[in-house]
Amino acid sequence: MPSEKEQVLEFLTGKTGKSKFYFSDFCKIFPDKKQREVKKILTELVNEGKLEFWSSGSTTMYGMTGAGKQKAEEE
């Protein structure tokens, strides 16, 4: 069975056409875990540089580091 971090990364790489996800999307991967536990997993991945935060100003989303239109426009 893949680790929790691997499950998150597989979820992100398996989605095409979408690069940013809400926190609630990740909670659906781990229905038996509390939100705080899911948040810790995501924070570890952000700290490792595998995920990044993206904010619209009112909503914070998560995405793979270097993925999506936003990153292409910044370069």
- What tens digit of pLDDT does each residue of 8-44 get? 999 988 877 788 999 999 999 999 999 999 999 999 9
Q: What is the CATH number of the domain that holds 26?
A: 1.10.10.10
Domain that holds residue 26: 2-62
Residue 75 lies in a domain: no
Q: What is the pTM of this model?
A: 0.81
Of 66 and 22, which is predicted with more confidence?
22
C-alpha 22/C-alpha 15 separation (Å) is 13
Torsion angle of C-alpha atoms 68, 64, 28, 15, degrees rounded to 10: 50
Residue 50 lies in a domain: yes
Angle subtended by helix axes 35-47 and 4-13, to nearest 10: 80
Tally of structural domains, the chain: 1
Residue 32 lies in a domain: yes
Structure tokens at 9: 């990364």
Residue 72 lies in a domain: no
